[in-house]
Amino acid sequence: MNSFIEGARQPLLSVWRRAFLFSGALLLTACSHNASPPPFTASGFAGDHGAVRIWRKDTNDEVHLLSVFSPWHSGSTTTSEYRWQGDTLSLIELNIYSKP
């Protein structure tokens, strides 16, 4: 008789487990309703030859992007600046800073 009760309970646990997982996934997706990027973001990563840092600022109809590459050992630090006004790329500036 005990094995009969266990066998009857398994499908019920499976249904509740699925309902619990579905409601958890629904709750997580409901929290992420805003798809627009924040007005300021920063990121970066470390590569084999140096570090890269990237900053982005959005204001009204303008986007400003600045990236910096700093080598680990020898070489020059490089900055790249980009600006968009609307859909038009209005500025590209590249600076190379070498050590004296």
> What tens digit of pLDDT does each residue of 84-99 get?
999 999 999 999 998 7
Co-location of 22 and 45 in the same domain: no
Q: 58 is written with which tokens?
A: 């959005």
Co-location of 53 and 84 in the same domain: yes
Assign 9 a pLDDT band (cuts: 50, 70, 90): low
pLDDT for the residue numbered 25: 72
Co-location of 19 and 53 in the same domain: no
| Cα(44)–Cα(94) distance, integer angstroms | 18
* 66-84 tens-digit pLDDT: 999 999 988 899 999 999 9
What residues contact residue 85 under an 8 Å CB cut-off, 6+ apart?
Answer: 61, 62
Co-location of 47 and 90 in the same domain: yes
Co-location of 52 and 92 in the same domain: yes
Full residue range of the structural domain in which residue 1 is found: 1-35
The pTM of the full predicted model, rounded to 2 decimals, is 0.60
pLDDT of 57 over the 90 cut: yes
Total count of domains within the chain: 2
Q: What are phi and psi of 19, to 5 degrees?
A: -65, -40
